[in-house]
């Protein structure tokens, strides 16, 4: 079995690194050199999102993911954070509508990776899994909705009712998800630029998913309930070779508004974008000049220093927010390590949410 896992891990490494000699610092999204799409389609302004079709896989694009974060509470009122992400990496493009390759031929058109994590009481549990595509081990369908890698599965139980289950070393969760009705299309009707010269992705979110279920940590069972945020994104050329990662925030504010902000790079050269959904549910796209973001405090962890508190201002919306991670280390130490933590929000309005930071260190030994 070790040989099988080693092979799958090597396959994923080759896939995620775009078949280069070393993994990209940007991780799963830092895949294609500028102008090198290798026959894959590339999102562009004017593209559109079609549902439910776009919940499924896009084999004509090079990278995509389904990404859930959740701010939950136990029955005793203790906060608990949770993450589930599934990635697909294309190695060979397949035109829309073309049949999948014969699984008995052991095709190599795509590789899949899944991440699961739970954060509770200052502790953090994380695992990742890998799979070869088109042999049944991993995939995504829309009728009914199902996204799976082995026994890690997001599946539609009935209309408007999903189930998510995953497990790893010392943790598991089995959850029921009731997605909200509003679909937030980021950027220009779903096209989200990631560079000043127009590279980007198709990107939409469900920001209010009611969640309840059970989380088991080191043999202790917790009934949980709360809200989740699910991102859906696909592209072929996401980051330029000179962009070493990103900082991403998904915030649910107590006045009923929602805020997604990310920056690629740092300092004066950072590219920033975001979406503010006002309390009435109307989405407003935010450009680099409308977002002020600065790290306030750092935490030393084994791979290096990670900014764990930020000042985030959107002057046009009257927002001045401090975004802070709780005590603890929330380092997802996988093939491509990154920080993933729940956050609290204070300032002009309170709230909660999640923060993802990439490009801050090598994998811990």
Spatial neighbors of 175 by CB under 8 A, at least 6 apart, are 82, 163, 164, 165, 211, 212, 213, 214, 224
Could you give the 3-state DSSP secondary structure of residue 348? Answer: coil
pLDDT in tens, 124-151: 999 999 999 999 999 999 989 999 999 9
Whole-number Å distance between alpha carbons of 89 and 238: 12
Compute the radius of gyration of the chain from its Cα atoms: 19
Helix (H) / strand (E) element for 2: namely helix 2-16
Q: Report pLDDT for 143.
A: 86
Q: Report pLDDT for 22.
A: 40
- Residue 36: pLDDT band (50, 70, 90) is very low
Whole-number Å distance between alpha carbons of 160 and 150: 24
Q: Burial of 323 by CB count in 10 Å (0-12 exposed, 13-18 middle, 19+ buried)? A: buried
Q: Report pLDDT for 1.
A: 37
Q: Give yes or no for residue 7 having a pLDDT over 60.
A: no
Instruction: Give the length of the chain.
Output: 365
Q: Give yes or no for residue 156 having a pLDDT over 50.
A: yes
Q: How many CB atoms lie within 10 A of CB 49?
A: 17
DSSP 3: H
- Residue 302: pLDDT band (50, 70, 90) is confident
- Find, among 320, 352, 326, 322, the residue nearest to 339 by Cα: 326
Q: Report pLDDT for 8.
A: 39
Average pLDDT over residues 301-308: 89
- Residue 304: pLDDT band (50, 70, 90) is confident
Whole-number Å distance between alpha carbons of 264 and 193: 11
Average pLDDT over residues 229-241: 82
Q: Give yes or no for residue 285 having a pLDDT over 70.
A: yes
Spatial neighbors of 284 by CB under 8 A, at least 6 apart, are 275, 276, 277, 278, 317
pLDDT in tens, 324-358: 999 999 999 999 899 999 999 999 999 999 999 99
Average pLDDT over residues 41-70: 94
Q: Report pLDDT for 26.
A: 42
For 39-43, 159-163, 212-216, 294-298, which range has the lowest pLDDT when averaged over its residues? Answer: 39-43
Q: Report pLDDT for 303.
A: 77
pLDDT in tens, 102-121: 888 898 999 999 999 999 99
Domains and CATH numbers, the chain: 2-96+105-358 (2.40.370.10)
How much is the mean pLDDT over the chain?
88
Q: Report pLDDT for 123.
A: 96
Report for 27-41, 181-195, 319-333: range of highest mean pLDDT: 319-333
pLDDT in tens, 72-95: 999 999 999 999 999 999 999 998
Look up the pTM and report it: 0.89
Average pLDDT over residues 9-18: 43
Q: Report pLDDT for 37.
A: 54
With tokens 């081990």, the residue in question is 137
Spatial neighbors of 117 by CB under 8 A, at least 6 apart, are 81, 82, 83, 124, 125, 126, 127, 330, 332, 340
What are the residue ranges of helices labelled H in 233-277? none
CA angle centred on 16, ends 15 and 19, rounded to 5°:
50
- Find, among 337, 346, 334, 290, the residue nearest to 127 by Cα: 334
Q: Report pLDDT for 239.
A: 61
Q: Report pLDDT for 248.
A: 97
Q: Does residue 204 or residue 102 have the better pLDDT?
A: 204
Q: Report pLDDT for 322.
A: 98
């Amino acid at each position: 079995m070790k040989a099988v896992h080693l092979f799958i891990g090597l396959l994923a490494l080759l896939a995620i690194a775009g078949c280069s000699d070393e993994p990209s610092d940007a991780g799963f999204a830092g895949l294609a050199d500028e102008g090198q799409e290798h026959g894959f389609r590339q999102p562009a302004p004017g593209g559109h999102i079609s549902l439910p079709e776009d919940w499924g896989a896009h084999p004509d694009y090079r990278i995509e993911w389904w990404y859930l974060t959740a701010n939950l509470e136990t029955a005793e009122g203790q906060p608990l954070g949770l993450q589930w992400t599934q990635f697909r990496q294309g190695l060979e493009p397949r035109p829309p509508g073309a049949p999948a390759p014969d699984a008995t031929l052991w095709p190599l058109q795509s590789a899949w990776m899944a991440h699961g994590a739970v954060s509770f009481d200052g502790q953090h549990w994380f695992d990742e899994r890998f799979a070869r595509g088109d042999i049944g081990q991993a995939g995504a369908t829309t009728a009914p909705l199902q996204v799976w890698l082995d026994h890690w599965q997001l599946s539609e139980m009935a209309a408007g009712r999903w189930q998510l289950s995953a497990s790893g070393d010392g943790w598991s969760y089995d959850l029921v998800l009731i997605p909200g009705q509003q679909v937030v299309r980021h950027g220009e009707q779903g096209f989200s630029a990631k560079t000043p010269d127009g590279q980007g992705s198709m990107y939409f979110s469900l920001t209010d998913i009611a969640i309840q279920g059970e989380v088991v940590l080191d043999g202790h069972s917790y009934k949980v309930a709360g809200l989740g945020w699910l991102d859906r994104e696909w592209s072929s050329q996401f980051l330029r070779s000179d962009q070493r990662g990103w900082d991403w925030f998904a915030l649910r504010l107590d006045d009923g508004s929602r805020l997604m902000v990310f920056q690629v790079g740092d300092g004066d050269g950072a590219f920033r974008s975001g979406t503010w959904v006002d309390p009435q549910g109307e989405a407003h796209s935010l450009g680099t000049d409308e977002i002020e973001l600065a790290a306030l405090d750092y935490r030393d962890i084994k791979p290096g220093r990670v900014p764990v508190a930020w000042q985030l201002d959107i002057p046009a919306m009257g927002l001045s927010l401090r975004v802070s991670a709780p005590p603890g280390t929330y380092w997802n130490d996988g093939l491509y390590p990154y920080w993933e933590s729940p956050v609290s929000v204070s300032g002009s309005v309170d709230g909660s949410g999640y923060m993802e930071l990439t490009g801050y260190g090598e994998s811990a030994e």
